[in-house]
Chains A and B, each alone.
Chain A
Amino acid sequence: MSNLEYSNVKPINNLIESFHRLPGIGPKMAQRLTYYLVRMSIKEAETLANAIRDLKEKVIYCSSCHNISDINPCSICQDTTRDSSIICVVEDPLDVVAIESSTVFKGIYHVLHGVIAPMKGIGPEDIKLHDLVDRINQGNVKELVLATNPNVEGDATTAYIQDLVVSLDLKITRLARGLPMGGDLEYADFVTLSRAIEGRQVLG
């Protein structure tokens, strides 16, 4: 973080620096946001400040699935209509939002909060992996759906989880690979195409 003086007004300077710390916000954008807030009514500014305070005070991690929630266990883990014998393993809370928006999956989740990424110094002990094994051992889990991102890090994490739970009496599945809806076959890459052909399905 630079110690640049953006303004000689200290509160403005502090806020610009705070915005600048956020991902994807450069010094110019931080300045624009700050000066927008200066012009904002006190009521609007208070709403924003309260929203940020509430976020830090009320948002917690579910002790069971590690998803972001305001109650513990989270609403998904508490929902008795969901099938708790199927756990979908995802990388981060946004993936839960994406899968939930499909309305197809009726099981519960386990959020890893990362993937095994050696080049970032992240190993298996740095993500919520071993909690998953405890969860499987404790509950009546019948299926584990591995829904990590389809890239090298996601695949390696999937392979690691597979090795970890292979001895348990459990069905292990992972999300299908293939072509996206509305995509052109001619633009598909080698890996996607080969996985799509491998995972082809019988019609009728």
Chain B
Amino acid sequence: MQKIRTESLTGIVLRSISVGEADRLVIIVTRERGKFKCLARGVRKPKSKLGGFLEPMHEVLITVQFSRLYPIVKDVRTIGVLNEISNNVPHYLYLMYIAELLESFILEDETNLEIFDLYKFVLKTFNNAHEVNMLILFFQLKLLMLCGYGPELSACVECRSLLNAEDQYFGFVQGGIICPRCMVGIRRTQYVHIFEMNLQYIKLLRLSQRETWNKLQTFKVNSEDIGKLIQIINDYITYVIDRKLKSARFLEFGHI
């Protein structure tokens, strides 16, 4: 007889999808197994003992039993509520974007502790962040770095020369900064994936990519610049993952 395998994992719920009569398919990012989907049976019923524990942004200790299709949730306990967003609509929209971004970047059953810790850190820091947009940009760039898609921001990706103090270009296809001299040789068809970058933008991107959040907080930044950079990096992400994030359209300021 085949032995039934159960595992206890520490994770953060990214989202859940209603399936069947009263079940939910929970997408969770875990410390031990990376992202995976599991089935929580009957959790949409008011008397469910597990339903309340499977809300997004809760760090949970989850016990799952591996079956043929999806692992079945057997037990869940909350370790900590990383963020309570119920009353702040803009924060909710941003946090959903962060969750979708993470979900689309990480692969199933691929452990990456650094990404898990980054997500946990962002959730915990979000409500107290002096500049929420800066934290989103920080998350975008750190995630890109950890997934191996971090843009090259120190040297021109075409000629490898260090950048001069002048306006540059950011090429999605090339994966980083293109100097004005190399820009001449770029084919016109690629222009849709190229953005002009002033020095301030490049500096902000470099800082967000390299520095820790504590150090980043000490810099004075222009909110409008950060907003534009979030959009540019989001476009870069769209190019990398080859699909638009559904929650990204809510990042447009004043949309809601």
A interface residues, Cβ below 8 angstroms from B: 24, 116-121, 123-124, 151-152, 155-156, 158-160, 163, 180, 182-184, 187-192
Contact = CB atoms under 8 A, between A and B. Distances in A.
B49 interface: yes
B78 A190 contact: yes
Contacts of B53: 189-190
Contact of A118 (B47, B51, B250): B250
A152 B246 contact: no
B92 A152 contact: yes
Contacts of A159: 86-89, 92
B96 A118 contact: yes
Interface string B220-256: 0000000000000000000000000011011000011
Nearest to B88: A159
Interface of B: 15, 19-20, 46-47, 49, 51-53, 55-58, 78, 81, 85-89, 92-93, 96-97, 99-100, 246-247, 249-250, 255-256
Contacts, number: 72
Contacts of B78: 189-190
A163 B91 CA distance: 14
Contacts of A151: 55
A117 B25 CA distance: 16
Contacts of A191: 52, 55, 81
Contacts of A158: 86
A18 to B, nearest CB: 20
A188 B48 CA distance: 9
User: Most chain-B CB neighbours within 10 Å: which of A24, A163, A191?
Assistant: A191
Nearest to B24: A151
Contacts of B55: 151-152, 191
Given A118-B97, A152-B86, 5 more contacts: A116-B89, A119-B15, A123-B249, A159-B87, A191-B81
Contacts of B250: 118, 123
Nearest to B92: A156
B73 to A, nearest CB: 13
B99 A190 contact: no
Nearest to B251: A118
Given A118-B250, A121-B247, A160 B52 contact: no
A174 to B, nearest CB: 11
Contacts of B246: 118-121
Contacts of B52: 188-192
Contact of B20 (A24, A160, A190): A24
A182 B89 contact: no
Given A156-B86, A190-B81, A123 B255 contact: yes
A187 B53 CA distance: 10
Given A118-B97, A119-B99, A121-B249, A152 B255 contact: no
Contacts of A189: 51-53, 78
18 contacts: A116-B92, A118-B96, A119-B15, A119-B247, A120-B246, A123-B255, A124-B256, A151-B55, A152-B57, A155-B86, A155-B87, A156-B89, A159-B89, A180-B47, A189-B52, A189-B78, A190-B53, A190-B81
A163 B100 CA distance: 25
A120 B20 CA distance: 18
B23 to A, nearest CB: 10
User: Most chain-B CB neighbours within 10 Å: which of A116, A117, A151, A182?
Assistant: A151
A189 B78 CA distance: 8
Contacts of B88: 159
B140 to A, nearest CB: 16
